[in-house]
Structures are given as structure tokens and as C-alpha cells.
């Protein structure tokens, strides 16, 4: 018996070496590890806060030692993974993996979601959805590009949730930058009021678009229909809490599960 690079030679009664089987298994292990590295990146990219190594090991079905080794490999390849054993790991922005790899169902989900945004959202988001879909189409393999073009999933026609003058883009900018909004709001009972709010989320529904915000006047979380905002001004002042904290507290109060 003599050891080779990927296994060993053995000579059974027929006299034919069985090294080919060992080499095949070696190739399979390489492919499996590549898939595991992609899955590890996906898990880290989908989480905004550090993930403990033990949790990553559980989700991947491997040992903690394997997770540490895989993280080291990804770091050597340029992935900005920060953290350490016992504290958890987080993937910082800036690491891309071309070409993009999706299943056909994932592509259909992207197409349906983009079509919904293109029809239901404000003009800025609508154009961004079309642009994002075009970017995805330019990097996916040809087989999936056909799925992008031929999918039979469509969104409903655009409702009248947003009046022509609604400054939804301004609201989205305020949410991104953590700025206060001063609004004049007309309630469903046709009562007008002046509010200073801390915006942190927008909900696009079939019939209405809702702004979720902390209201200084009511000292509580409130929802405002965008089509009933009569005047809107972005205040050059940041609100004191992060939008992530506001969103977390709002979800807990409304019993809404994280997506």
C-alpha cells in the first residue's frame, strides 16, 4: 500500500487501483466546502449584528473549529469579517461575490418584488427597482436571465395610495438620516394638527402608504397615512434615538416579528 496525494492506492484481487474513487471524494469535499463558504457569507450578510461562532456552526451543521477555519479563509480572500471567538462575527460592507448565484425561485421572488415596488412605490423607488433588476440581469447566468424575462408572476395595478404631491422621497431621506419631520396632518375625522415626529419606517400597502413614527406631541408611536399629510418639512435636527432602536421598540409594541 502506498499513500497518494488525495488518498491511497490499494490493489484488490483484480489488480486495479481504487485511487479514482478517493480522488472523486476529494473533489466532492472541495465543492462542499465552497458551498459552505458561500452559505457562511450569506448568513453573515443577512445579519446586522455579530453572530456567535457556535450559532454559525449550528446553522451550517459543522464544528466550531471548522467555522473558525472558514472565517480565516474568507478573511484571507478579502472579506471584511470582524470579531473574535466568544464574541461573534459580523461582515462589514464592501465585499462582493460575482457572479451572483440565485435559484429560479429566488429570481422569481426578486422579479415579483421589484415589479410590486415599481408599480406601488413613489417615482424614486420605482426607478430604483427597475435599475436594480437590470443590474441583476447583467450578472446572473443566461439560464436565470431567461427566468427574469419569462416569469409569469405579476403585481396588481397601482392603487391610489400616493397622491401626486406626496413627498415620499423626502420622508425616506429623513428616515435614512435620522431627521425629524414637522407635518400638518388631517385625521380620518378631518381634524388638522401640527406634529413633530421621528420617522423610522414606511409601509406600502395596496390602498394606503403608512408612515410609522414617534410623535413628540402624543409621546407615543403613531401611524400617519401619507395621503393625509397636508404639509411636510424635514427639520435640520436629528432625533436622539437610532431608527433601529425605534423600529425594535415599535415591533415589540405592535407584536410584529422581524423579517
Q: Does residue 156 lie within any of the structural domains?
A: no
Is residue 125 domain-resident? yes
C-alpha–C-alpha distance, residues 154 and 160, integer Å: 18
Q: Are residues 85 and 129 in the same domain?
A: no
Q: Are residues 137 and 192 in the same domain?
A: no
Residue 160 is classified by DSSP as S
From first to last of the 259 residues of the chain, give the pLDDT tens digit: 333 333 433 444 444 444 343 444 434 444 477 778 888 888 888 777 888 999 999 989 999 999 999 999 888 877 888 886 677 898 887 655 555 566 767 776 777 788 788 777 778 888 888 887 777 776 666 766 666 665 555 555 555 556 666 788 888 889 888 999 999 999 989 999 999 999 998 887 777 788 999 999 999 999 999 989 999 999 999 999 988 889 889 988 887 654 4
Cis peptide bond N-terminal to 99, omega within 30: yes
Cβ–Cβ < 8 Å for 78, 96: no
Q: Do residues 173 and 249 both lie within one domain?
A: yes
Phi first, then psi, for residue 3 (nearest 5°) are -80, 140
Q: Is residue 96 part of a domain?
A: no
Domain region containing 190: 168-254
Amino acid at each position: 500500500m502506498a499513500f497518494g496525494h488525495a488518498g491511497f492506492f490499494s490493489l484488490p484481487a483484480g489488480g486495479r487501483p481504487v485511487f479514482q474513487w478517493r480522488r472523486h471524494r476529494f473533489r466532492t469535499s472541495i465543492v462542499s466546502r465552497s458551498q459552505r463558504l458561500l452559505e457562511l457569507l450569506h448568513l453573515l450578510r443577512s445579519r446586522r449584528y455579530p453572530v456567535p461562532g457556535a450559532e454559525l456552526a449550528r446553522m451550517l451543521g459543522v464544528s466550531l473549529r471548522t467555522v473558525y477555519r472558514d472565517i480565516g479563509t474568507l478573511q484571507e480572500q478579502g472579506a471584511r469579517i470582524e470579531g473574535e471567538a466568544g464574541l461573534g462575527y459580523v461582515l462589514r460592507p464592501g465585499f462582493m461575490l460575482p457572479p451572483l448565484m440565485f435559484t429560479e425561485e429566488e429570481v422569481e421572488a426578486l422579479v415579483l418584488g421589484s415589479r410590486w415596488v415599481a408599480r406601488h412605490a413613489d417615482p424614486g423607488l420605482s426607478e430604483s427597482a427597475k435599475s436594480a433588476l437590470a443590474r441583476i440581469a447583467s450578472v446572473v447566468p443566461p439560464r436565470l436571465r431567461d427566468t427574469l424575462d419569462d416569469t409569469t408572476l405579476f403585481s396588481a395595478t397601482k392603487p391610489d395610495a400616493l397622491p401626486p404631491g406626496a413627498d415620499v422621497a423626502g420622508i425616506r431621506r429623513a428616515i435614512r438620516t435620522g431627521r425629524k419631520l414637522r407635518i400638518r396632518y388631517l385625521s380620518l375625522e378631518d381634524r388638522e394638527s401640527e406634529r413633530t415626529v421621528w420617522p423610522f419606517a414606511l409601509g406600502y400597502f395596496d390602498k394606503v402608504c403608512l408612515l410609522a413614527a414617534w410623535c413628540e406631541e402624543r409621546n407615543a408611536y403613531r401611524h400617519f397615512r401619507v395621503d393625509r399629510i397636508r404639509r411636510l418639512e424635514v427639520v435640520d435636527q436629528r432625533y436622539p434615538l437610532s431608527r433601529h432602536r425605534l423600529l425594535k421598540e415599535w415591533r415589540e409594541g405592535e407584536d410584529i416579528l422581524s423579517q
